Amino acid sequence: MPKGNNKRRRVTKLKANDYGIHLLVGTRGPRAWKVTIYRDGKTFNRLFSFSRYGGREAARKAADACRDELMLTHLPKLTRDIRQRLIATNTSGHPGVHYRCYTGIAYWVARTTLRNGSSVTKSFRVEHYGYERAKELAIRERERQLDSVGEYRCFKVVEGEQRLMQLMVEDPSLEISGF
């Protein structure tokens, strides 16, 4: 067996409530906690070795504190901000509003994806409302849809949201919008 294989590391996820913290395991067993937080295309990594912090528990406390600090200083975006991003194929100039023509029938469509992954869609026929009026109605409908969805922080995993709520319960002086 080549010597290089002896130095392989693996990162294991322990429990669902350990958001952003993983146990780093070497060939001789567990050796460190690794904190990883992803925000806006950036990755924040910190390593807390047992030897440097004086044991497994002390390293875990330091990792928890670091994770909590990273979460509070790098909050996820609000869902409305994410949903207001224009994609490259958008032709209307308004996020969530697009023009469609099916079998000779033209529509302006307002579409919003909900938190559970489903979507809400409403269309306005150009033949019935006219081109500009149908577009205006679709834009207004999109705003109504966004208002009905509400404002919340957009975590990719539910554990992150749960941890942030737990931090807010532990420290009521934290004022974080979107909760």
Bridge partners (DSSP) listed for residue 109:
98, 123
Residue ranges per structural domain of the chain: 3-77+157-170, 79-149
Query: What is the Cα–Cα distance from 148 to 144, expressed in whole angstroms?
Result: 6
Give CA–CA dist 105/107, Å, rounded: 7
Three-state SS at 140: helix
Comparing CA positions, the residue from 149, 148, 40, 142 lying closest to residue 95 is 142
Q: What separation, in Å, do the N-terminal and C-terminal C-alpha atoms of the chain show? A: 53
CATH of domain 3-77+157-170: 3.30.160.390
Instruction: Supply the pLDDT for residue 55.
Output: 93
- Mind listing the pLDDT tens digit of every residue in the chain (179 residues)? 445 554 455 544 445 458 889 999 888 888 999 999 998 889 999 999 999 999 999 999 999 999 999 988 888 888 888 788 888 888 889 999 999 998 889 999 999 988 777 899 999 999 999 999 999 999 999 999 998 887 777 777 777 878 888 888 887 777 776 55
| b/e sequence 149-175, b meaning 16+ C-beta within 10 Å | beeebbbeeeebbebbeeeeeeeeeee
Report pLDDT for 134: 96
Helix axes of 56-73 and 158-170: crossing angle, nearest 10 degrees: 90
